[in-house]
């Protein structure tokens, strides 16, 4: 029996084919065309035959079986979504469901915003796998590293360039950068003065720079940019904080306010430091969990 391919392996296989046909500088990916053409060749008796938008109240996207009498599958996305990056990631997410899960889930999927945004394995293995595929498919790591080498310091313009290159959201591009950078950095998404979720780079996590949101609501600092929105220019700003604001050390905070979603995206950059702690995988903070513990809880 053939072992099923992992999300990363599926993404690598398709990336290899696209590189061979179009070359490495081929972004952003035309997901509807790739999904239809690739599946027609790989799965001629069960391909994706339709990719289209429609009004999907409460859902970002769906994968559905063709009506009786027709073979194949369809991908549908919520055409009321204004963000092209969010639509693009949704399409890739549903493509991932097709490749990875259609046999086990013959009735398909209907995916909400949280399914497409949350990348943590704690949220659910199936949705986590679809997001892993989407991230690796849309933003191949070798190409992303050419845009931002792993030791480079970043600013919002550099990450925004990657978001535009791959036609993904700023959050998706930041999460991809965090997955490989050697810099200590923490992404914080907040609303109404509290952290919704956060994600640390491996280097930041190893030095204890993270927010354990599974431990309950965490209030953001009173001097942070999401609170001081009068400091934002065109919805964004950068500020250097001293010790004791976000962490017990200086932090450069870069914040963008996403008005259409009513939340703030803050990227916190810390100086390089030697790891002083080691965290096993099960001890990693549940960075995307809902706020369920004591207010104001920070790890350090």
- The larger pLDDT score, comparing residue 118 to residue 263, is at 263
130 and 195 housed in the same domain: no
Residue 1 lies in a domain: no
124 and 14 housed in the same domain: yes
Find where tokens 């693009």 sit.
Answer: 88
Q: Would the pLDDT of 281 be above 70? A: no
Residue 47 lies in a domain: yes
Q: Would the pLDDT of 176 be above 50? A: yes
CA angle 143, 81, 28 (to 5 degrees): 20
94 and 215 housed in the same domain: no
Report pLDDT for 290.
30
33 and 106 housed in the same domain: yes
CA distance 75 to 95: 8
Residue 66 lies in a domain: yes
| Tens of pLDDT, residues 7-43 | 999 999 999 999 999 988 899 999 999 999 999 999 9
Report pLDDT for 114.
62
**Average pLDDT for residues 268-292, to the nearest whole number?**
54
- The larger pLDDT score, comparing residue 198 to residue 298, is at 198
Q: How many domains does the chain have?
A: 2
| Tens of pLDDT, residues 238-277 | 999 999 999 999 999 999 998 666 789 999 999 997 665 5
22 and 118 housed in the same domain: yes
Report pLDDT for 140.
97
Burial of 54 (0-12, 13-18, 19+ CB in 10 A): exposed
Residue 34 structural domain: 7-138
Handedness of CA 264, 252, 119, 214 (dihedral sign): negative
pTM of the predicted model as reported, rounded to 2 decimal places:
0.85
Report pLDDT for 115.
57
20 and 120 housed in the same domain: yes
45 and 131 housed in the same domain: yes
Q: Would the pLDDT of 205 be above 60? A: yes
* Encoded tokens for 85: 């990056």
34 and 129 housed in the same domain: yes
| Tens of pLDDT, residues 41-55 | 999 999 999 999 998
**Average pLDDT for residues 180-200, to the nearest whole number?**
94
Residue 297 lies in a domain: no
Residue 156 lies in a domain: no
Report pLDDT for 258.
80
Residue 289 lies in a domain: no
End-to-end Cα spacing for the chain: 49
Report pLDDT for 291.
27
**Average pLDDT for residues 283-299, to the nearest whole number?**
36
Find where tokens 């923490």 sit.
Answer: 186
Report pLDDT for 274.
66
197 and 123 housed in the same domain: no
Report pLDDT for 296.
40
**Summary mean pLDDT of the chain:** 86
Output the 3-class SS for 165-189. HHCCCHHHHHHHHHHHCCCEEEEEE
Report pLDDT for 119.
54
Residue 298 lies in a domain: no
pLDDT interval class at 121 (50, 70, 90): very low
Residue 175 lies in a domain: no
How does DSSP assign the chain, residue by residue? Answer: -PPPPPHHHHHHHHHHHHHHHH-S--PSP-HHHHHHHHHHHH-TTS-EEEEEEE--TT-SEEEEEPPTT--SEEEEEETT---HHHHHHHHHHHHHHHHHHTTT-TT-EEE-HHHHH---GGG-HHHHHHHHHHHHHHS-HHHHHHHS-TT----HHHHHHHHHHHT--HHHHHHHHHHH-SSEEEEEEEETTEEEEEEE-HHHHHTT----GGGS--BPPTTSTTT-GGG-BTTEEEEEE-TTSSSSS-EEEEEEEETTTTEEEEEEEE----------GGGS--TTS---S-TT----
116 and 192 housed in the same domain: no
Report pLDDT for 50.
96
Report pLDDT for 288.
32
134 and 12 housed in the same domain: yes
């Amino acid at each position: 029996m053939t072992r099923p391919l992992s999300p990363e392996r599926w993404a690598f296989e398709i990336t290899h084919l696209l590189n061979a046909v179009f070359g490495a500088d081929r972004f952003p990916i035309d997901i509807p065309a790739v999904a239809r053409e690739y599946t027609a060749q790989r799965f001629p008796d069960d391909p994706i035959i339709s990719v289209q938008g429609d009004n999907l109240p409460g859902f970002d996207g769906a994968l559905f079986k063709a009506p009786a009498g027709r073979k194949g599958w369809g991908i549908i996305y919520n055409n009321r979504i204004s963000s092209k990056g969010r639509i693009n990631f949704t399409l890739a997410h549903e493509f991932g469901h097709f490749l990875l899960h259609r046999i086990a889930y013959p009735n398909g999927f209907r995916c909400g915003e949280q399914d497409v945004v949350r990348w943590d394995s704690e949220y659910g293995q199936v949705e986590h796998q679809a997001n892993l595929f989407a991230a690796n498919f849309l933003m191949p790591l070798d190409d992303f590293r050419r845009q931002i080498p792993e030791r480079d310091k970043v600013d919002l313009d550099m990450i925004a360039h990657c978001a535009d290159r791959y036609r993904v959201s700023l959050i998706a591009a930041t999460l991809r950068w965090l997955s490989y950078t050697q810099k200590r950095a923490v992404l914080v998404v907040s609303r109404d003065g509290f952290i919704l979720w956060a994600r640390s780079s491996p280097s930041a996590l190893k030095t204890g720079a993270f927010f354990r949101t599974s431990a309950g609501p965490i209030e953001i600092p009173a001097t942070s940019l999401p609170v001081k929105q009068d400091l934002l220019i065109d919805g964004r700003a950068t500020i250097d904080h001293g010790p004791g604001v976000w962490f017990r050390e200086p932090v450069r905070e870069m914040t963008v306010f996403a008005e259409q979603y009513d939340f703030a995206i803050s990227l916190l950059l810390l100086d390089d430091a030697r790891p002083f702690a080691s965290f096993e995988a099960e001890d990693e903070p549940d960075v995307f969990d809902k706020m369920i513990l004591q207010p104001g809880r920070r790890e350090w």
